[in-house]
Structure 1
Amino acid sequence: MWFDHAIFKEKIKFMFNNELSMEHVGFEQFLYYDTSRLKIFFCSKNIPNVIPEKWRRKKFNCFMITLTCIDVSVLEINGGGVAFECTPIIESTKEKTEITIKNDGFYLHCSTRTMVIEDITPHWDVRWTK
């Protein structure tokens, strides 16, 4: 799985029964800051079958997931514009994680020593209301 070597991968195990797809997610924004840290924000309408009990008491139609890459050794960005649907390629070993995000006119590739699953929260997105 894409999160096997991530810090706080236990969130996915306990919140979603170890299943969380990153297929067809919205690439919302990214932030490169501090000492080689990259924060990537995704939004997904692919709600897992198993969700936390506390989510059941909230109104939501998607969830936000924030990944933080610490000690980035390679960062390539070409193009412009975010807020598009993609399926990020996340390949991970104990030593490093590679993340690639592609879309027409945009390319991001990151190689990092550590990937952290920083946050997963329910969200109400007005773009998907009728």
Structure 2
Amino acid sequence: MSVRHTEVTAEAADLEPCGQPDHPDCGIRDVLDRVGDTWSVLVVVELAQGPRRFRELQRAIDGISQRMLTLTVRRLERDGLVLRTVYPTVPAQVDYRLTETGASLTHLVKQLADWSLDHRAAIARARRAYDDDHPDHEIR
């Protein structure tokens, strides 16, 4: 794997299609790593319902730690999917909302969620069958 795929890059050019034979995915992996991340998907799903404060997000997303939520919203903000607004109050109030780009992602996330719900029973059956056929495997 190239360095380009493991480092966080600051240049937008790294995400543009390059057409170089030594870089066939042309930045797609960088974007999919972010929008396909479990926590990012759940944050997008929650913010699709409207702006949320940090604690509201944390309560809505079962199992996410404060640190992971902080990292997730910062990464989504960096990628231009989430807008963080700080209000000049004491104490300061902060809310998060989807940007136009982030909002354009919600229909895809919903389709994935709907597909997951529609196929979860079949996937559970396939897993049980695989586990029965391969009792010594370590895949979970």
| Bigger strand share | 1
TM-score normalised to structure 1 length: 0.22
Say which one has the larger Rg.
2
TM-score normalised to structure 2 length: 0.21
| Bigger helix share | 2
Question: Bigger relative contact order, structure 1 or 2, given CA contacts below 8 A and separation 6+?
Answer: 1
